[in-house]
Amino acid sequence: MEIESIKPLLAVGVSLLGAALIVATRKSPNIREGCSLVAAILKFLIVATMIPSVLAGKTLHMTLFSFLPDVSIALRVDALGLLFATTASFLWIVTTLYSVGYMRSLNEHAQTRYYLCFAITMSATISVAFSANLLTLYIFYELITFFTYPLVAHKETDKVFAAGNKYVFYLLMSAKFFLLAIILTYVFAGTMDFRPNGIFTSKVNTTILTLTYFLFLAGISKAAIMPFHAWLPAAMVAPVPVSALLHAVAVVNTGVFCVLRVIFHIFGVELMKTLNLGAVTAIIASFTIIVASIYAFTRDDLKERLAYSTISQLSYIVLGGALLTSSGMAGGIIHIVNHAFSKITLFFCAGSIYVASHKTKISEMSGIGRKMPWTMTAFALGTLSMIGVPPAAGFLSKWYLMTGSIEAKELPFLFVLLASSLLNAGYFLPIVHNAFFGGSQKEVLHPVPQSVGAAAAGFHESHPHEGRGQLQPIHEPSYLIVIPLLLCAVISVILGIYPNFLLELIRLVVR
Protein backbone atom coordinates (compact mmCIF):
# COMPACT_ATOMS: atom_id res chain seq x y z
CA MET A 1 0.00 0.00 0.00
CA GLU A 2 1.43 3.37 -1.07
CA ILE A 3 0.58 6.60 0.72
CA GLU A 4 1.49 10.21 -0.02
CA SER A 5 3.69 11.76 2.65
CA ILE A 6 5.89 14.80 3.08
CA LYS A 7 8.15 12.97 5.54
CA PRO A 8 10.72 11.80 2.97
CA LEU A 9 11.19 15.40 1.81
CA LEU A 10 11.50 16.61 5.40
CA ALA A 11 14.17 13.98 6.06
CA VAL A 12 16.12 15.22 3.04
CA GLY A 13 15.56 18.92 3.71
CA VAL A 14 16.43 19.15 7.40
CA SER A 15 20.17 18.82 6.80
CA LEU A 16 19.97 21.40 3.98
CA LEU A 17 18.46 23.78 6.52
CA GLY A 18 21.24 22.73 8.88
CA ALA A 19 23.79 23.55 6.15
CA ALA A 20 22.38 27.07 5.80
CA LEU A 21 22.53 27.60 9.56
CA ILE A 22 26.10 26.28 9.69
CA VAL A 23 27.15 29.01 7.25
CA ALA A 24 25.10 31.68 9.04
CA THR A 25 26.67 30.86 12.42
CA ARG A 26 30.24 30.29 11.16
CA LYS A 27 31.68 32.98 13.44
CA SER A 28 30.45 31.14 16.53
CA PRO A 29 31.88 27.58 16.53
CA ASN A 30 29.74 26.33 19.41
CA ILE A 31 26.49 27.44 17.74
CA ARG A 32 27.67 26.22 14.33
CA GLU A 33 28.41 22.75 15.66
CA GLY A 34 25.18 22.81 17.65
CA CYS A 35 23.28 23.43 14.40
CA SER A 36 25.01 20.43 12.83
CA LEU A 37 24.14 18.22 15.79
CA VAL A 38 20.51 19.37 15.99
CA ALA A 39 20.05 18.80 12.24
CA ALA A 40 21.46 15.29 12.61
CA ILE A 41 19.13 14.48 15.52
CA LEU A 42 16.08 15.87 13.71
CA LYS A 43 16.93 13.90 10.58
CA PHE A 44 17.13 10.66 12.55
CA LEU A 45 13.85 11.37 14.37
CA ILE A 46 12.04 12.11 11.10
CA VAL A 47 13.36 8.88 9.60
CA ALA A 48 12.36 6.98 12.74
CA THR A 49 8.74 8.20 12.47
CA MET A 50 8.44 6.28 9.18
CA ILE A 51 9.33 2.93 10.73
CA PRO A 52 5.81 1.94 11.95
CA SER A 53 4.27 2.61 8.52
CA VAL A 54 6.91 0.59 6.67
CA LEU A 55 6.70 -2.29 9.14
CA ALA A 56 2.94 -2.29 8.51
CA GLY A 57 3.66 -2.97 4.83
CA LYS A 58 3.15 0.59 3.55
CA THR A 59 5.42 2.73 1.40
CA LEU A 60 5.61 6.50 1.64
CA HIS A 61 5.76 8.41 -1.63
CA MET A 62 6.23 11.99 -2.78
CA THR A 63 6.72 13.23 -6.36
CA LEU A 64 8.74 16.42 -6.65
CA PHE A 65 8.81 16.93 -10.45
CA SER A 66 7.47 15.12 -13.51
CA PHE A 67 8.67 16.08 -16.97
CA LEU A 68 8.48 13.01 -19.30
CA PRO A 69 6.19 9.97 -19.45
CA ASP A 70 7.10 7.80 -16.45
CA VAL A 71 10.07 10.08 -15.66
CA SER A 72 10.07 12.05 -12.43
CA ILE A 73 12.12 13.20 -9.50
CA ALA A 74 10.38 11.34 -6.72
CA LEU A 75 10.98 9.96 -3.24
CA ARG A 76 9.69 6.63 -2.00
CA VAL A 77 10.34 4.99 1.36
CA ASP A 78 10.39 1.19 1.41
CA ALA A 79 12.02 -1.30 3.78
CA LEU A 80 15.42 -1.39 2.04
CA GLY A 81 15.68 2.40 1.81
CA LEU A 82 14.51 2.85 5.39
CA LEU A 83 17.13 0.41 6.68
CA PHE A 84 19.88 2.36 4.93
CA ALA A 85 18.50 5.77 5.93
CA THR A 86 18.08 4.81 9.60
CA THR A 87 21.68 3.62 9.76
CA ALA A 88 23.10 6.66 7.99
CA SER A 89 21.07 9.23 9.94
CA PHE A 90 21.94 7.72 13.32
CA LEU A 91 25.62 7.53 12.47
CA TRP A 92 25.59 11.18 11.39
CA ILE A 93 24.71 12.08 15.00
CA VAL A 94 27.61 10.03 16.31
CA THR A 95 30.03 11.31 13.67
CA THR A 96 29.08 14.92 14.39
CA LEU A 97 29.94 14.49 18.06
CA TYR A 98 33.18 12.77 17.14
CA SER A 99 34.01 15.49 14.61
CA VAL A 100 33.74 18.20 17.24
CA GLY A 101 36.29 16.42 19.45
CA TYR A 102 38.58 15.48 16.56
CA MET A 103 38.59 18.76 14.65
CA ARG A 104 39.07 20.85 17.78
CA SER A 105 41.74 18.60 19.25
CA LEU A 106 43.82 18.96 16.08
CA ASN A 107 42.83 22.60 15.58
CA GLU A 108 41.85 21.80 11.97
CA HIS A 109 41.29 24.62 9.49
CA ALA A 110 38.16 25.25 7.37
CA GLN A 111 35.80 23.69 9.88
CA THR A 112 32.77 25.59 8.54
CA ARG A 113 33.35 24.14 5.08
CA TYR A 114 33.76 20.71 6.68
CA TYR A 115 30.41 20.78 8.52
CA LEU A 116 28.67 22.38 5.52
CA CYS A 117 29.80 19.66 3.09
CA PHE A 118 28.98 16.98 5.64
CA ALA A 119 25.40 18.26 5.98
CA ILE A 120 24.81 18.46 2.22
CA THR A 121 26.33 14.99 1.75
CA MET A 122 23.86 13.61 4.27
CA SER A 123 20.94 15.19 2.39
CA ALA A 124 22.14 13.53 -0.79
CA THR A 125 22.64 10.20 0.99
CA ILE A 126 19.09 10.15 2.39
CA SER A 127 17.84 11.14 -1.07
CA VAL A 128 19.56 8.08 -2.53
CA ALA A 129 18.03 5.88 0.17
CA PHE A 130 14.55 7.24 -0.57
CA SER A 131 14.82 7.50 -4.37
CA ALA A 132 11.75 6.15 -6.15
CA ASN A 133 13.53 5.63 -9.47
CA LEU A 134 16.89 5.46 -11.19
CA LEU A 135 16.95 9.10 -12.30
CA THR A 136 16.44 10.44 -8.79
CA LEU A 137 19.01 8.00 -7.45
CA TYR A 138 21.59 8.98 -10.09
CA ILE A 139 21.28 12.73 -9.48
CA PHE A 140 21.90 12.41 -5.76
CA TYR A 141 24.52 9.68 -6.25
CA GLU A 142 26.53 12.24 -8.24
CA LEU A 143 25.93 15.01 -5.70
CA ILE A 144 27.55 12.83 -3.04
CA THR A 145 30.72 12.75 -5.16
CA PHE A 146 30.81 16.54 -5.58
CA PHE A 147 30.27 17.37 -1.93
CA THR A 148 32.61 14.74 -0.52
CA TYR A 149 35.50 15.98 -2.69
CA PRO A 150 36.16 19.04 -0.43
CA LEU A 151 36.11 16.68 2.54
CA VAL A 152 38.62 14.29 0.98
CA ALA A 153 40.87 17.19 -0.05
CA HIS A 154 40.39 18.96 3.29
CA LYS A 155 44.09 19.24 4.20
CA GLU A 156 44.87 21.08 0.94
CA THR A 157 48.42 19.82 0.34
CA ASP A 158 49.76 18.79 -3.06
CA LYS A 159 49.63 15.12 -2.07
CA VAL A 160 46.07 15.48 -0.80
CA PHE A 161 44.89 17.30 -3.93
CA ALA A 162 46.42 14.54 -6.09
CA ALA A 163 44.56 11.90 -4.09
CA GLY A 164 41.37 13.95 -4.16
CA ASN A 165 41.61 14.30 -7.92
CA LYS A 166 42.00 10.53 -8.22
CA TYR A 167 38.94 10.09 -6.02
CA VAL A 168 36.72 12.39 -8.04
CA PHE A 169 38.08 11.18 -11.42
CA TYR A 170 37.28 7.54 -10.69
CA LEU A 171 33.80 8.25 -9.40
CA LEU A 172 32.77 10.75 -12.07
CA MET A 173 34.18 8.77 -15.00
CA SER A 174 32.67 5.46 -13.93
CA ALA A 175 29.34 7.15 -13.27
CA LYS A 176 29.05 7.71 -17.03
CA PHE A 177 28.59 3.94 -17.37
CA PHE A 178 25.90 4.22 -14.71
CA LEU A 179 24.13 6.91 -16.74
CA LEU A 180 24.34 4.85 -19.94
CA ALA A 181 22.83 1.87 -18.11
CA ILE A 182 19.96 4.08 -16.92
CA ILE A 183 19.29 5.30 -20.48
CA LEU A 184 19.26 1.72 -21.80
CA THR A 185 16.91 0.73 -18.99
CA TYR A 186 14.44 3.47 -19.88
CA VAL A 187 14.61 2.65 -23.61
CA PHE A 188 13.97 -1.09 -23.18
CA ALA A 189 11.81 -1.13 -20.03
CA GLY A 190 9.86 2.09 -20.59
CA THR A 191 10.25 3.13 -16.96
CA MET A 192 12.91 3.84 -14.37
CA ASP A 193 10.77 3.18 -11.29
CA PHE A 194 11.89 0.59 -8.76
CA ARG A 195 9.55 -2.40 -8.56
CA PRO A 196 9.79 -5.47 -6.29
CA ASN A 197 10.10 -8.01 -9.13
CA GLY A 198 12.09 -5.86 -11.54
CA ILE A 199 10.96 -3.85 -14.56
CA PHE A 200 12.24 -5.74 -17.62
CA THR A 201 9.92 -7.98 -19.62
CA SER A 202 10.83 -11.28 -21.26
CA LYS A 203 10.72 -9.58 -24.68
CA VAL A 204 13.97 -7.67 -24.12
CA ASN A 205 17.05 -9.12 -25.84
CA THR A 206 19.23 -11.04 -23.37
CA THR A 207 22.44 -9.52 -24.78
CA ILE A 208 21.09 -6.01 -24.15
CA LEU A 209 20.06 -6.99 -20.63
CA THR A 210 23.46 -8.49 -19.85
CA LEU A 211 25.26 -5.43 -21.23
CA THR A 212 23.02 -3.11 -19.22
CA TYR A 213 23.66 -5.06 -16.03
CA PHE A 214 27.44 -4.91 -16.35
CA LEU A 215 27.26 -1.21 -17.17
CA PHE A 216 25.47 -0.80 -13.85
CA LEU A 217 28.10 -2.87 -12.06
CA ALA A 218 30.99 -0.88 -13.58
CA GLY A 219 29.21 2.44 -13.14
CA ILE A 220 28.45 2.07 -9.44
CA SER A 221 32.11 2.34 -8.48
CA LYS A 222 31.23 3.56 -4.98
CA ALA A 223 30.70 -0.15 -4.23
CA ALA A 224 34.50 -0.51 -4.70
CA ILE A 225 34.27 -3.80 -6.58
CA MET A 226 37.65 -4.64 -8.07
CA PRO A 227 39.02 -3.29 -10.39
CA PHE A 228 36.96 -0.13 -9.68
CA HIS A 229 38.33 0.30 -6.16
CA ALA A 230 41.50 2.41 -6.36
CA TRP A 231 39.73 5.64 -5.40
CA LEU A 232 38.98 4.30 -1.93
CA PRO A 233 42.53 3.81 -0.56
CA ALA A 234 43.48 7.14 -2.20
CA ALA A 235 40.75 8.88 -0.21
CA MET A 236 42.44 7.93 3.06
CA VAL A 237 44.28 11.27 2.96
CA ALA A 238 41.09 12.76 4.41
CA PRO A 239 40.62 13.48 8.14
CA VAL A 240 39.46 10.43 10.09
CA PRO A 241 35.81 11.54 10.50
CA VAL A 242 35.66 11.90 6.71
CA SER A 243 37.12 8.41 6.30
CA ALA A 244 34.39 7.22 8.64
CA LEU A 245 31.83 9.01 6.45
CA LEU A 246 33.24 7.35 3.33
CA HIS A 247 33.35 3.86 4.83
CA ALA A 248 30.33 3.66 7.09
CA VAL A 249 27.82 6.47 6.73
CA ALA A 250 27.49 7.54 3.13
CA VAL A 251 29.72 6.84 0.15
CA VAL A 252 30.48 3.11 0.04
CA ASN A 253 27.17 2.15 1.62
CA THR A 254 25.51 4.20 -1.10
CA GLY A 255 27.41 2.12 -3.66
CA VAL A 256 26.38 -1.30 -2.37
CA PHE A 257 22.86 -0.04 -1.71
CA CYS A 258 22.61 0.94 -5.41
CA VAL A 259 23.88 -2.49 -6.49
CA LEU A 260 21.18 -4.16 -4.39
CA ARG A 261 18.56 -1.82 -5.85
CA VAL A 262 19.60 -2.89 -9.36
CA ILE A 263 19.57 -6.60 -8.48
CA PHE A 264 16.28 -6.59 -6.56
CA HIS A 265 14.21 -3.83 -8.13
CA ILE A 266 15.48 -3.30 -11.69
CA PHE A 267 16.32 -6.84 -12.83
CA GLY A 268 14.56 -8.88 -10.17
CA VAL A 269 15.58 -12.22 -8.72
CA GLU A 270 13.99 -14.38 -11.43
CA LEU A 271 15.59 -12.51 -14.33
CA MET A 272 18.96 -12.55 -12.55
CA LYS A 273 18.66 -16.33 -12.33
CA THR A 274 17.54 -16.70 -15.93
CA LEU A 275 20.50 -14.70 -17.23
CA ASN A 276 22.90 -16.39 -14.78
CA LEU A 277 24.02 -12.92 -13.65
CA GLY A 278 23.88 -13.84 -9.97
CA ALA A 279 26.61 -16.47 -10.29
CA VAL A 280 28.89 -14.16 -12.29
CA THR A 281 28.39 -11.32 -9.80
CA ALA A 282 29.12 -13.67 -6.90
CA ILE A 283 32.40 -14.72 -8.53
CA ILE A 284 33.45 -11.08 -9.00
CA ALA A 285 32.50 -10.29 -5.40
CA SER A 286 34.41 -13.35 -4.12
CA PHE A 287 37.52 -12.28 -6.01
CA THR A 288 37.27 -8.83 -4.42
CA ILE A 289 36.75 -10.30 -0.93
CA ILE A 290 39.89 -12.44 -1.06
CA VAL A 291 42.25 -10.14 -2.95
CA ALA A 292 41.37 -7.06 -0.88
CA SER A 293 41.99 -9.06 2.30
CA ILE A 294 45.41 -10.08 1.01
CA TYR A 295 46.20 -6.45 0.19
CA ALA A 296 45.22 -5.50 3.75
CA PHE A 297 48.02 -7.73 5.07
CA THR A 298 50.61 -5.64 3.23
CA ARG A 299 49.58 -2.26 4.66
CA ASP A 300 51.32 -0.89 7.75
CA ASP A 301 49.29 2.32 7.75
CA LEU A 302 46.22 1.64 9.90
CA LYS A 303 43.76 3.63 7.77
CA GLU A 304 45.00 1.93 4.60
CA ARG A 305 44.53 -1.49 6.17
CA LEU A 306 41.02 -0.49 7.17
CA ALA A 307 40.42 0.78 3.62
CA TYR A 308 41.24 -2.59 2.06
CA SER A 309 39.20 -4.29 4.74
CA THR A 310 36.27 -2.11 3.67
CA ILE A 311 36.71 -3.11 0.01
CA SER A 312 36.54 -6.73 1.09
CA GLN A 313 33.57 -6.29 3.43
CA LEU A 314 31.52 -4.35 0.87
CA SER A 315 31.65 -7.32 -1.46
CA TYR A 316 30.03 -9.43 1.27
CA ILE A 317 26.95 -7.30 0.66
CA VAL A 318 27.19 -7.72 -3.11
CA LEU A 319 27.77 -11.47 -2.71
CA GLY A 320 24.68 -11.78 -0.51
CA GLY A 321 22.50 -10.05 -3.08
CA ALA A 322 23.99 -12.12 -5.91
CA LEU A 323 23.28 -15.45 -4.18
CA LEU A 324 19.57 -14.80 -4.90
CA THR A 325 18.41 -16.93 -1.95
CA SER A 326 16.40 -15.57 0.95
CA SER A 327 19.17 -16.17 3.49
CA GLY A 328 21.90 -14.86 1.21
CA MET A 329 20.00 -11.68 0.41
CA ALA A 330 19.20 -11.21 4.11
CA GLY A 331 22.89 -11.57 4.96
CA GLY A 332 23.89 -9.00 2.36
CA ILE A 333 21.29 -6.48 3.49
CA ILE A 334 21.98 -6.84 7.21
CA HIS A 335 25.70 -6.42 6.58
CA ILE A 336 25.03 -2.85 5.41
CA VAL A 337 24.17 -2.07 9.01
CA ASN A 338 26.58 -4.41 10.76
CA HIS A 339 29.57 -3.32 8.72
CA ALA A 340 28.65 0.36 9.17
CA PHE A 341 28.73 0.22 12.97
CA SER A 342 31.77 -2.06 13.16
CA LYS A 343 33.88 -0.19 10.62
CA ILE A 344 33.06 3.26 11.94
CA THR A 345 34.23 2.01 15.33
CA LEU A 346 37.59 1.04 13.85
CA PHE A 347 38.05 4.35 12.05
CA PHE A 348 37.07 6.30 15.15
CA CYS A 349 39.70 4.34 17.06
CA ALA A 350 42.31 5.13 14.41
CA GLY A 351 41.46 8.81 14.82
CA SER A 352 41.65 8.58 18.60
CA ILE A 353 45.12 7.04 18.34
CA TYR A 354 46.23 9.79 15.97
CA VAL A 355 44.93 12.59 18.19
CA ALA A 356 46.62 11.07 21.25
CA SER A 357 49.93 10.00 19.71
CA HIS A 358 50.11 11.27 16.10
CA LYS A 359 50.85 7.68 15.09
CA THR A 360 49.43 6.13 11.93
CA LYS A 361 51.68 3.08 11.47
CA ILE A 362 50.59 -0.22 12.98
CA SER A 363 54.23 -1.10 13.66
CA GLU A 364 54.46 1.93 15.98
CA MET A 365 51.40 1.06 18.09
CA SER A 366 52.90 -1.67 20.25
CA GLY A 367 51.69 -1.28 23.85
CA ILE A 368 49.32 1.57 23.07
CA GLY A 369 46.38 -0.38 24.51
CA ARG A 370 47.80 0.10 28.01
CA LYS A 371 47.86 3.86 27.46
CA MET A 372 44.47 3.98 25.72
CA PRO A 373 42.44 1.05 27.12
CA TRP A 374 38.99 2.38 26.16
CA THR A 375 39.99 3.07 22.58
CA MET A 376 41.67 -0.27 22.05
CA THR A 377 38.88 -2.20 23.79
CA ALA A 378 36.45 -0.63 21.33
CA PHE A 379 38.86 -1.51 18.52
CA ALA A 380 38.91 -5.12 19.72
CA LEU A 381 35.09 -5.28 19.68
CA GLY A 382 34.97 -3.86 16.17
CA THR A 383 37.60 -6.38 15.11
CA LEU A 384 35.56 -9.31 16.46
CA SER A 385 32.62 -8.15 14.37
CA MET A 386 34.78 -7.89 11.24
CA ILE A 387 36.07 -11.43 11.79
CA GLY A 388 32.58 -12.76 12.54
CA VAL A 389 33.04 -13.89 16.14
CA PRO A 390 29.75 -14.27 18.08
CA PRO A 391 27.97 -12.45 19.57
CA ALA A 392 29.27 -9.48 17.54
CA ALA A 393 27.09 -8.32 14.65
CA GLY A 394 29.42 -9.55 11.92
CA PHE A 395 28.75 -13.15 12.96
CA LEU A 396 25.08 -12.75 12.07
CA SER A 397 25.97 -11.42 8.62
CA LYS A 398 28.31 -14.31 7.90
CA TRP A 399 25.84 -16.87 9.26
CA TYR A 400 23.17 -15.75 6.82
CA LEU A 401 25.66 -15.50 3.95
CA MET A 402 26.96 -19.00 4.60
CA THR A 403 23.42 -20.35 4.91
CA GLY A 404 22.58 -18.61 1.66
CA SER A 405 25.54 -20.24 -0.05
CA ILE A 406 24.32 -23.65 1.07
CA GLU A 407 20.74 -22.88 -0.03
CA ALA A 408 22.06 -21.89 -3.46
CA LYS A 409 24.14 -25.09 -3.58
CA GLU A 410 27.21 -22.93 -4.21
CA LEU A 411 29.73 -24.35 -1.74
CA PRO A 412 32.74 -22.50 -3.26
CA PHE A 413 31.27 -19.26 -1.90
CA LEU A 414 31.00 -20.85 1.53
CA PHE A 415 34.74 -21.52 1.44
CA VAL A 416 35.36 -17.94 0.28
CA LEU A 417 33.57 -16.69 3.39
CA LEU A 418 35.52 -19.05 5.66
CA ALA A 419 38.82 -18.07 4.06
CA SER A 420 37.92 -14.41 4.37
CA SER A 421 37.24 -14.79 8.09
CA LEU A 422 40.67 -16.34 8.57
CA LEU A 423 42.26 -13.50 6.62
CA ASN A 424 40.33 -10.96 8.71
CA ALA A 425 41.69 -12.57 11.85
CA GLY A 426 45.19 -12.58 10.39
CA TYR A 427 45.38 -8.84 9.77
CA PHE A 428 43.29 -7.60 12.71
CA LEU A 429 44.15 -9.74 15.74
CA PRO A 430 47.91 -8.94 15.73
CA ILE A 431 47.02 -5.25 16.06
CA VAL A 432 44.96 -5.95 19.18
CA HIS A 433 47.54 -8.34 20.64
CA ASN A 434 50.45 -5.95 20.15
CA ALA A 435 48.43 -3.03 21.51
CA PHE A 436 47.85 -4.75 24.85
CA PHE A 437 50.84 -7.07 25.15
CA GLY A 438 53.55 -5.39 23.08
CA GLY A 439 56.33 -3.06 24.22
CA SER A 440 55.69 0.20 26.04
CA GLN A 441 54.80 3.50 24.40
CA LYS A 442 56.90 6.54 25.18
CA GLU A 443 55.96 10.18 25.39
CA VAL A 444 55.46 11.85 22.03
CA LEU A 445 56.22 15.29 20.66
CA HIS A 446 53.01 17.27 20.28
CA PRO A 447 52.65 20.65 18.58
CA VAL A 448 51.36 23.48 20.75
CA PRO A 449 48.07 24.46 19.07
CA GLN A 450 46.81 27.94 18.38
CA SER A 451 43.54 29.18 19.75
CA VAL A 452 40.82 26.77 18.70
CA GLY A 453 38.07 29.37 18.55
CA ALA A 454 39.98 31.66 16.23
CA ALA A 455 40.84 28.87 13.81
CA ALA A 456 37.45 27.22 13.83
CA ALA A 457 35.23 29.99 12.52
CA GLY A 458 35.59 30.60 8.79
CA PHE A 459 35.99 28.87 5.44
CA HIS A 460 39.74 29.52 4.98
CA GLU A 461 41.36 29.51 8.37
CA SER A 462 45.13 29.13 8.80
CA HIS A 463 46.60 25.65 8.84
CA PRO A 464 47.02 23.83 12.19
CA HIS A 465 50.07 22.61 14.02
CA GLU A 466 52.11 25.80 13.80
CA GLY A 467 54.28 26.46 16.80
CA ARG A 468 56.83 24.76 18.97
CA GLY A 469 56.54 21.19 20.17
CA GLN A 470 56.59 19.65 23.62
CA LEU A 471 56.67 16.13 25.04
CA GLN A 472 53.33 14.86 26.30
CA PRO A 473 52.26 11.46 27.62
CA ILE A 474 49.91 9.34 25.52
CA HIS A 475 46.42 9.06 27.01
CA GLU A 476 42.78 8.89 25.94
CA PRO A 477 41.74 12.05 24.07
CA SER A 478 38.59 14.14 24.53
CA TYR A 479 35.43 12.41 25.75
CA LEU A 480 33.81 13.71 22.55
CA ILE A 481 36.07 11.25 20.73
CA VAL A 482 36.00 8.35 23.18
CA ILE A 483 32.25 8.23 23.88
CA PRO A 484 31.19 7.92 20.19
CA LEU A 485 33.67 5.12 19.49
CA LEU A 486 32.60 3.22 22.60
CA LEU A 487 28.92 3.70 21.71
CA CYS A 488 29.43 2.32 18.20
CA ALA A 489 31.46 -0.61 19.53
CA VAL A 490 28.72 -1.53 22.00
CA ILE A 491 26.02 -1.23 19.34
CA SER A 492 28.05 -3.50 17.04
CA VAL A 493 27.65 -6.19 19.71
CA ILE A 494 24.01 -5.41 20.55
CA LEU A 495 23.04 -5.75 16.88
CA GLY A 496 24.39 -9.29 16.95
CA ILE A 497 22.36 -10.18 20.04
CA TYR A 498 19.10 -8.36 19.26
CA PRO A 499 18.71 -8.20 15.47
CA ASN A 500 14.91 -8.54 15.41
CA PHE A 501 14.16 -5.01 14.16
CA LEU A 502 16.62 -5.36 11.28
CA LEU A 503 15.31 -8.80 10.36
CA GLU A 504 11.71 -7.51 10.29
CA LEU A 505 12.68 -4.88 7.73
CA ILE A 506 14.71 -7.39 5.74
CA ARG A 507 11.78 -9.82 5.54
CA LEU A 508 9.81 -7.08 3.81
CA VAL A 509 12.55 -6.83 1.18
CA VAL A 510 13.13 -10.53 0.47
CA ARG A 511 9.55 -11.84 0.86
230 is a domain residue: no
Which residues form the domain of 83? 1-172+239-260
My answer on whether 310 and 438 are in the same domain is: yes
My answer on whether 280 and 256 are in the same domain is: no
My answer on whether 71 and 149 are in the same domain is: yes
My answer on whether 348 and 247 are in the same domain is: no
476 is a domain residue: no
379 is a domain residue: yes
Over residues 77-130, the pLDDT tens digits come to 999 999 999 999 999 999 999 999 999 888 888 899 999 999 999 999 999 999
What total number of domains does the chain contain? 2
- 50 band by pLDDT with thresholds 50, 70 and 90: very high
Question: Which pTM value belongs to this model?
Answer: 0.91
Domain end, chosen from 230, 260, 290, is at 260
Domain end, chosen from 260, 290, 319, is at 260
Structure confidence at residue 460 (pLDDT): 38
My answer on whether 295 and 338 are in the same domain is: yes
pLDDT at 488 over 50: yes
232 is a domain residue: no
My answer on whether 107 and 250 are in the same domain is: yes
pLDDT at 131 over 80: yes
Q: Are β-strands 469-472 and 2-4 bridged in parallel, bridged antiparallel, or unpaired?
A: unpaired
pLDDT at 199 over 80: yes
187 is a domain residue: no
207 is a domain residue: no
336 is a domain residue: yes
- φ/ψ bin of 190: left (φ > 0), alpha (ψ from -120 to 50), beta (otherwise): left
361 is a domain residue: yes
My answer on whether 252 and 356 are in the same domain is: no
My answer on whether 312 and 246 are in the same domain is: no
Q: Which residues of 177-210 are buried (b: 16+ CB within 10 A; e: fewer)?
A: bbbbbbebbbebbebbbbeeebbbeeebeeeebe
Over residues 432-477, the pLDDT tens digits come to 999 998 877 665 555 544 434 333 333 333 344 444 455 567 888 9
Question: CA–CA distance from 255 to each of 100, 108, 202, 333 (Å)?
Answer: 27, 29, 28, 13
Nearest to 73 by CA among 204, 222, 193, 218: 193
My answer on whether 253 and 363 are in the same domain is: no
DSSP, res 264: I
Nearest 5°: CA angle at 186, between 181 and 190?
155
My answer on whether 245 and 309 are in the same domain is: no
My answer on whether 16 and 103 are in the same domain is: yes
My answer on whether 445 and 396 are in the same domain is: yes
